[in-house]
Structures are given as C-alpha cells and as structure tokens.
Amino acid sequence: MIWIGGAPGAGKSTLAWKISRAYDLPLHPVDLWAYDHAGRLPPTAGLDDELAAGATRAADSFEADAARRLALVVEDVRARELGAVPALVEGPQLLPTFSGELPTGRGVWLVPDPAQTRNARAERLAAVPVDADRARLAALLGRDAVLADRTRTQALAAGQPVVDVPASPDWTAIGTAVEAPLGPALRTSPRLDAGPSLSTQRRFENGVASRQGQLWSAAVGLPDAPTFPFACECGRTRCAAVGPVTAVEYDTYAAGGPFVVHEHL
Ligand SMILES: [Zn+2]
C-alpha cells in the first residue's frame, strides 16, 4: 500500500485520484467503504451523539473507529489480489500512528488549515445539500481541527512526512509536495498493465463507489441522486476520463460491459 492520510478537507481524494491516473495505480478511498465496514463491525454510537460529547471526545471516537477499520482496509486491499502493485489508499482514517509497518516513503499526511476544511465542507454542502450535515457543521469543524492537530503531532512522532494545506491552497504546489516523499515508491513500483488489468480495477473501484453512493443517498434521503465522477474503464494507460453520472445510471451502463466514457458520453 501507499497511504495518503490527513484530516478531513485537505484535498486527499483529488490528489490521490490524480496520482492513481498518472501512475496507473489502483485507488482505494477508505470513505467509500463506510457502509460496507459498518455492516462488518459492531454498532457504535451515532455521529451526532459523538459530536455532542465535544470536539476532543468526537476526535477520540473517530480515531477509535479508524483503528477498528484498519484491519478491514487491509483485508479489502488484499482481496483485490493486486500482486506486487501497490494500492493507493487514502482517507482520514489512515492515522500516522498506524504507519509502523508501512515501509519508509510509502505514506504522506496532509494537515489542512481549519479555514481550508471549512471551505471544503461548505463546497461539499453546496454541491450536495444534506440537511443533517449542515446542522452538524460547526461540531464537525471543531472535531476536524482536533484531528488536524493530532495528525501533525502523530506524524512527527512517527517520523512521517507532513504537507500543510493553507486556506487558499496552491494545489499544484501541494501536489508536488505530496509526490515528493512518495516519488521513489511511485516511480519504481509495478503498475497495472494497460488493458484488461487496468480496466478490471477501475471497474472494481466504480462498483465500490456505486454501492456506497446508493446506500448513502438512501440513508440521507436525498430527493435527487447526486452524480459521481465514475472512472473510464477503457483500460488505456493514464486514461483520466470520468463520466459524471448517478450510481444507478452507472450500474445500467456497467451491466452492458465496461463503462467506456469515450463511447457513452
Ligand atoms: Zn478511457
């Protein structure tokens, strides 16, 4: 595995997505396994109860949940049968304290300025207005700030690299800073072969996103299903095309064969 961790709102998903395309690596966002993992773990207190206990306690709960999910993340990546090709795993659940067995140069942690996290959450809410998320925004931002502080402290203690994400990020510079510690691993690791191997892994990733998206839409009761940038499954090296369709629309396309964006959209 190659890890991109860090507190919410740091731009991890976008950066990991770009790296996965540039290097033809399998992408594994932990957030897309939320419902799957919830079904495999004992029930926990709900998010609102956790947030009601205050920022510090909510951050403790988040970290405890991350610890429970770590074994599942490892299981999920193994089940992808990637051989020697590393999965690019990203998510706020990848705490620096868990990096003990990760070889050097295989992880990087982003620490967002609280203003950046606020902007990122506001953008997400504007794109997909979930009432429950709006109601808990202040509490989430309080917890996120604690998580960001802890990321820095833990990463320094673990000797892992940290990249700061300021309130008005220069994403090109941040992308360069994230790739710097990972550079040797990215350049020397085996990649997914163009053709069926790459196509199959993008299809797997789309399936994960579709399942999570449908469970999430149902859980939050959105009137209109949001679109998601489903990946092109053409299997060409470094293809970065996406088809912004709903999860149900994706499933319909996928039932007929690979979702090739150049053909469908
Ligand atoms: Zn393509």
From ligand 1's centre to the CA of 202, what distance in Å? 10
From ligand 1's centre to the CA of 66, what distance in Å? 34
- Domain locations in the chain? 2-188, 196-264
Task: Give 178-218 pLDDT, tens digit per residue.
Answer: 999 999 999 999 999 999 999 999 999 999 999 999 999 99
Return the closest-CA partner of residue 5 out of 160, 123, 139, 172: 160
Mean pLDDT of the chain: 95
From ligand 1's centre to the CA of 69, what distance in Å? 32
- Tokens 């996406």 locate to 242
Architecture of domain 2-188: 3-Layer(aba) Sandwich (3.40)
Average pLDDT on 164-182 reads: 96
From ligand 1's centre to the CA of 115, what distance in Å? 36
Average pLDDT on 152-181 reads: 96
The rounded distance, in Å, linking the Cα atoms of 20 and 35 is 23
Q: With a cut of 70, say whether residue 265 has pLDDT above it.
A: no
- pTM listed for this prediction: 0.96
Residues of 50-88 as b/e, b for ≥16 C-beta within 10 angstroms?
A: bbeeebeebbbbbbebbeebeebbeebbeeeebeebbbb
From ligand 1's centre to the CA of 234, what distance in Å? 4
Task: Give 100-110 pLDDT, tens digit per residue.
Answer: 989 999 999 99
From ligand 1's centre to the CA of 67, what distance in Å? 36
CB 208 within 8 A of CB 30: no
